[in-house]
Amino acid sequence: MSHLPRLIRVIGIIAKYRLDDFLVDQPGGSFLRAALLPARLPWLFSSKGKGSRNQRLRLAMEELGPIYIKFGQLLSTRRDFLDQELADELQSLQDNVPPFEKPGVEEIIAKSLGQPASDIFQELESRSFASASVAQVHKAKLMSGEEVVVKLLRPGIREVVTADLKLLKWIARLIEERTSLGKRLHPVEVVNDYEKVIIDELNLQSEGANASQLRRNFENSPELYVPKIYWDYTRRDVLVMERIHGIPVTDVAALVEAGVDLKKLAETGVEIFFTQVFEHNFFHADMHPGNIFVSRENPQNPQYIAIDCAIIGTLSDDDQEYLAKNLLAIFKRDYRKVAELHVECGWVPAGTRIGEFESAMRSVCEPIFEKPLKDISFAHLLVQLFRTAGRFNMEVQPSLVLLQKTLLNIEGLGRQLYPELDLWQTALPYLESWNSKRLNPFTLINKIGEELPNWVDQLPHLPVMVLDAISQSRQLQRLNANLAELQQQQLERESRRHRRAVTGGILALLLAAASLFEPLNSWVSGTPVITAVLTITGVFLLSDLLSFKR
């Protein structure tokens, strides 16, 4: 097993933090806890095993390193499966990773860009000012005098990620197959989602492309600014980006000192989110506070600055449409519509009983709606709805998980800035506007206009397509006729065999009855020809009867 050394290390940390407590009351849990006992012995008197098990899980992930920290952060977004306390604990994981020093910054740049760093930068700080799990960032100045930041991928991180992913998948399969908790949490699915996220983060060119698209979407916008990417100096392992000078969004004291309108700032954050989801269908899915700053210019109409666009979410046209319809139905407390939409869009199986699903949705939403709207967490309501739908075998949509995670971040941040934020009131105009555009005749005409060139391209092929369809229809009719004829023949054969079997059964009964009468029995046994005929007939009928039963 190539990942044996890592497995041994993981087992040691599991024992150290007494994570076997999660196996209590799980099928097979007693056996697994007993198997861990030798590894636990060195830590019997350690303080590492104290505290709540959720805290110990967080500490264990921090000790295991950056890959497990990011996995814990992603797991925290699955609030439709996790209990509130565990999700909050995992969400608090801090990605504080010591910076790497070797190889040197200049060496990495020269290898990636094919020229010495001194030919590109007039200034380049060798010491990083920010360090994360997969990359670190250095301040620099281009020869043109523009201030930039240089993001460098950690050396050897791809090999580490590959090895850790293999181990995580193995552990996830083990947990899912052996414990009821695993069947509920779907850890294999979570690890697969995590793999997609982390692989995208290992390509800085992909991050740069996402940032460029987001920048175009909000070009000249007073609400959001995205720094420029310098493509001449960006590669898979190196990204050079415009340096920004904003206020960290969590530094409320600095924002107040700068005169920023916090109410306007909170509402703008929500507006940016819904603009990305329903107008651009391209949303920044990693908008935690460390990636968001606020411009010092125009504090009464504040502008956000977004960095680190490695994780981007998009929705299919169907998901986008059904999400908007679902949210509007929730606003109107039309739970029947919510249930029907979940079935229509394939989020729950087609055979789901609408009435039962509607009742479950109502039981979740009604107690929540008893509060004033401003006191209701929009994101947590969605979590509750997804959790309820999970009881009806709702398939997890990765795009919706990213959306849920982003909404949790946005709403949490907005209420931190302005506790009275009414996200519902801010969101409703966007949903109504989206719905109005969808129903607008001009929108329909525009869609027809967009599709018209494709239809024109297909016109020359239309006669052939019609003839092919007619031919296929005739072939299908012939096939159905032949099938019906074969079925009729099969029924007739079965009927004949059934009659023979019945006749044989009656004959066998008659012979059995006859054998009870001594005179007739002696006559039959004394007549070789009759005996032979009856024997052969009986064997034939018996074989036919057995064939019929098969």
Comparing 19 with 247, which gets the higher pLDDT?
A: 247
Comparing 49 with 170, which gets the higher pLDDT?
A: 170
Identify which of 94, 116, 92 has the alpha carbon closest to the alpha carbon of residue 104.
116
What pLDDT is recorded for position 223?
Answer: 95
Burial of 480 (C-beta count, 10 Å sphere; 0-12/13-18/19+): exposed
Q: 367: cis peptide before it, omega within 30°?
A: no
Helical residues (DSSP H) of 99-226, grouped into ranges: 105-113, 157-178, 180-185, 187-201, 204-217
Average pLDDT over residues 302-318: 88
Model confidence at 513, pLDDT cuts 50, 70, 90, reads very low
Do the Cβ atoms of 174 and 29 come closer than 8 Å?
no
pLDDT(361) > 80: yes
Distance of alpha carbon 517 from alpha carbon 537, whole angstroms: 21
Most confidently predicted of 126-135, 181-190, 435-444: 126-135
pLDDT(469) > 80: no
Cα–Cα distances (Å) from 524 to 71, 91, 369, in that order, read 86, 92, 91
Amino acid occupying residue 321? E
Model confidence at 183, pLDDT cuts 50, 70, 90, reads low
Distance of alpha carbon 366 from alpha carbon 469, whole angstroms: 52
Per-residue pLDDT tens over the stretch 193-230: 778 878 888 899 999 999 999 999 999 999 999 999 99
What pLDDT is recorded for position 79?
Answer: 63
Share of the chain above pLDDT 90, in %: 21
pLDDT(278) > 50: yes
Distance of alpha carbon 104 from alpha carbon 138, whole angstroms: 12
Do the Cβ atoms of 405 and 380 come closer than 8 Å?
no
What pLDDT is recorded for position 59?
Answer: 86
Question: Please, which residues bridge with residue 139 across strands?
Answer: 149
Question: Please, which residues bridge with residue 224 across strands?
Answer: 304
Distance of alpha carbon 441 from alpha carbon 206, whole angstroms: 38
Do the Cβ atoms of 179 and 23 come closer than 8 Å?
yes
Which residues, other chains included, contact 538 with Cβ-Cβ below 8 Å and sequence gap of 6+?
A: 504, 507, 508, 511
Distance of alpha carbon 185 from alpha carbon 21, whole angstroms: 17
What pLDDT is recorded for position 27?
Answer: 60
What pLDDT is recorded for position 25?
Answer: 62
DSSP-derived secondary structure for 244-300? ---EETT-HHHHHHTT--HHHHHHHHHHHHHHIIIIIS-EES---GGGEEE-SS-TT
Most confidently predicted of 88-97, 175-184, 289-298, 391-400: 289-298
Average pLDDT over the chain, rounded to whole?
77
Token pair, residue 390, equals 């999970």
pLDDT(232) > 90: yes
112 SS3 class: helix
Do the Cβ atoms of 410 and 269 come closer than 8 Å?
yes
β 238-242/147-153 pair status: antiparallel
Average pLDDT over residues 422-438: 76
Comparing 76 with 110, which gets the higher pLDDT?
A: 110
Q: 103: cis peptide before it, omega within 30°?
A: yes
pLDDT(522) > 50: no
pLDDT(398) > 70: no
pLDDT(82) > 90: no
Do the Cβ atoms of 528 and 498 come closer than 8 Å?
no
pTM > 0.85 = no
140 SS3 class: strand
Distance of alpha carbon 197 from alpha carbon 207, whole angstroms: 12
Question: Out of 286, 308, 319, 422, which one is annotated catalytic?
Answer: 286
What pLDDT is recorded for position 48?
Answer: 62
pLDDT(180) > 70: no
Distance of alpha carbon 30 from alpha carbon 149, whole angstroms: 52
Most confidently predicted of 59-63, 303-307, 422-426, 498-502: 303-307
Model confidence at 447, pLDDT cuts 50, 70, 90, reads low
Identify which of 285, 286, 289, 282 has the alpha carbon closest to the alpha carbon of residue 415.
289
Distance of alpha carbon 345 from alpha carbon 35, whole angstroms: 45
Distance of alpha carbon 84 from alpha carbon 276, whole angstroms: 28
pLDDT(164) > 70: yes
What pLDDT is recorded for position 381?
Answer: 77
pLDDT(187) > 80: no
Per-residue pLDDT tens over the stretch 407-417: 777 887 888 88
What pLDDT is recorded for position 440?
Answer: 56
pLDDT(390) > 90: no
**Catalytic site residue 468?**
no
Residue listed under structure tokens 């999700």: 87
Most confidently predicted of 13-17, 85-89, 247-251: 247-251
